[in-house]
Structure 1
Amino acid sequence: MVAIAYGVARAAVTAANSKSEAAKGTSKGASKGFFARVLDAMIAARARQAAIELNSYRHLQRAYERQTLASKRDALPFGG
């Protein structure tokens, strides 16, 4: 979620800057500053780590869904 929030905020700022540069008639190009590149690398690393963590526990989610459905079936009034 953090990666999405930062990405949206940066896209809005970039769009605003490109409009103001177009009005002035100047363009710096597509190069990012040092801290923007560091922040992008940090966001990408955290996203990769989150994906790894979610994948490592995916088998538990499937087991939980099976247990939940089985217990709901038993709780139905006419045997479902």
Structure 2
Amino acid sequence: MKGDIVSIQNTEELPEKLRAETDGRIRPRLIFLNAMANHGISYEKASDICGLSMSTGYVWIRKWNAEGYDGG
């Protein structure tokens, strides 16, 4: 829902998964999540950098929180 604050869970797992990821479909998701979770980049800035719509970013965060890497 618009305006909801969504936090990212399991942030310690993101850098390792990002380093190992070669799938061009999954890598942008991990970059987005890692930028917010581990580098203090705002949701708006991370979305802009990755070329995401606001709704897509929220979907990625919710999938990560619910299913972790396997939800990608």
Tell me the TM-score normalized by structure 1. Answer: 0.26
Could you say which structure has the higher helix fraction?
A: 1
With a CA cutoff of 8 Å and minimum separation of 6, indicate the structure with the bigger relative contact order: 2
